[in-house]
Amino acid sequence: MLEWLDTAVDWVSLLWLFPVLFMFHDFEEILTVEKWADSNREKVLGALPSFARKALLPSFYCGTRRFAEDVLYVYSVIVASTILAVFFSVYLPFLAALSLFFLHSFTHAFQALYLKMYTPGVWTAIFIALPYSAYAFYRFLDGGAADWSDIGSSLIVLLVIGPPLLLLLLKGRRKASNHLTD
> Nearest 10 degrees: CA dihedral of 28, 85, 132, 34?
-10
Asked if 24 and 127 touch (Cβ cutoff 8 Å), the reply is no
**Residue 7: HSE in the Cβ half-sphere, 13 Å Cα cutoff:** 3
DSSP state letter for 116: T
Asked if 34 and 67 touch (Cβ cutoff 8 Å), the reply is yes
Residues of the chain with pLDDT below 70 are 177-182
pLDDT of residue 72: 93
pLDDT of residue 179: 54
Single pTM value for the model: 0.89
The span from the CA of 3 to the CA of 18, in Å, is 20
